[in-house]
Amino acid sequence: MTCISAPFAPAPTPLRADPLASSFATSYAGVVAFIAVVTEGSFARAAERLGIGRSAVSRSVQRLEDQLNVRLILRTTRSTTLTREGDLFFANCHAGVDRIVRSIEEMRDLREGPPRGHLRISAPVGFGRRVVAPLLGEFRATYPDVSIDLLLDDKPADFISDRVDIAFRNGRLEDDRTIAKQIIPMQILVCASPEYRDARGLPDSVDDLAHHQCINFRYGAGRLHEWEFKVDGQVRKFQPQAKITYNDPSLVLQAVLDGHGIAQMAGYLASDGLRSGALVPCLARYAPEDRGHYICYLSRQHLPSRMRVFIDLMTARIRACNHQCLTDHRDLNAPAQSVRLAGSTRVMSTLLSSSA
């Protein structure tokens, strides 16, 4: 009987574990304890440097040797000596642990040390150009080691994909995933120039806007700004048939100042003109409820110092700039009441008569 043997099959090569996965199981505390013992020359001095007991250092090194399945240090009552394997392990690990320690110190310094590094800031076009940008010079003079990248876009920035650190946002916020700190209320008011008022008069009601030259704003996404009012306690929206439309709030303001028509604008745009008399208010008693100007960021935890000082300085300076167009527009709902313009000491008794 002839026996036919099966062809010889070599033993399968054992799969080699992924180095990253293998290193994950290794005690980093043991590596640090081992490095400290070698650099300090003894377990006692290593324990003193690490601020732990000598027995804790010994257990950490023992655990590391068990995980590696190799003897790293020869211990006697009088000395510690590296094995050949220990000498090789130290040579390979020492530089890496030093880099890790430096990286940890750098991260701690970014949070607790003098502000430095780079900030990427996002802001709506009008607010960023008129309010945020003029304050950056003072911030840079105060914190010269912080560089700034300011992005102006009316579309809200995505903190992750756009790599934005801090964002300024206007209006009513709907994103509850971010920390939003209101800097100032955002008041909205219809304004005209004195020249327009003298030539065409001012609207007496929201309906009367249909008979006036309205100037409107188009958002970056293409949507037209819808004017909003509060009439008899109810929100009323109005879409003007504008003769001129801009996608830049500063151009809307300039067109109003030049007497080309009337527009509904935020307080940060209108406040200077109202104080100087270059603008006059319209329909003030129908001004909508305040919205807000917000400074936003992803988390309160682990904020680097450069972000903290930027938030603090911007909040303080913007509040001090007095960008409000009316000190308290709630009074505007009372027809017989006078309204005081923000930053002005004179009572504008004509304001409500023009909006009656």
The string of pLDDT tens digits covering residues 243-274 is: 899 999 999 999 999 999 999 999 899 999 99
Q: What is the mean pLDDT of residues 82-96?
A: 90
Under 8 Å between Cβ of 234 and 206: no
Tokens 């509060």 found at = 230
Q: Model's pTM, two decimal places?
A: 0.67
Angle at 282 between CA 205 and CA 123, to 5 degrees: 120
CA 159 to chain centre: 7
pLDDT band at 347 (very low <50, low <70, confident <90, very high): very low
Query: How far apart, in whole angstroms, are the C-alpha atoms of residue 23 and residue 143?
Result: 41
Cβ neighbours of residue 252 under 8 Å, at least 6 residues apart?
A: 215, 216, 217, 246, 263, 265, 269
Question: Is the backbone of residue 95 left (phi > 0), alpha (psi -120 to 50) or beta?
Answer: alpha
Residue 171 confidence class, pLDDT cut points 50, 70, 90 = confident
Closest CA to 249 of 218, 276, 213, 287: 218
Q: What is the mean pLDDT of residues 87-91?
A: 92
Question: Can you give the length of the chain in residues?
Answer: 356
**pLDDT at residue 352 greater than cutoff 50:** no
Mean pLDDT, rounded, for 102-109: 76
pLDDT digits (tens, 9 = 90+) for 306-345: 999 999 999 999 999 877 766 543 343 334 333 333 333 3
What proportions of the chain, in percent to the nearest 5, are helix, strand and coil?
40, 20, 35
**In this structure, what token pair is assigned to residue 131?**
């309010």
Three-state DSSP class for residue 124: coil
Q: Which of 207, 347, 234, 341 is nearest to 284 (CA)?
A: 341
Beta strands in 48-200 (DSSP E): 73-75, 80-82, 117-123, 146-152, 166-171, 179-186, 188-192
176 pLDDT tier (thresholds 50, 70, 90): low
Distances (CA, A) of 39 to 44, 81, 83: 12, 12, 15
Instruction: pLDDT band for 11, please (50, 70, 90 cuts).
Output: low
- How many other CB atoms sit within 10 Å of the CB of residue 111? 14
Structure token pair of residue 214: 């309205």
**What residues form DSSP beta bridges with 281?**
191
CA 80/CA 87 separation, integer angstroms: 12
CB 356 within 8 A of CB 337: no
Beta pairing, strands 244-246 & 215-217: parallel
Higher pLDDT, 325 or 296: 296
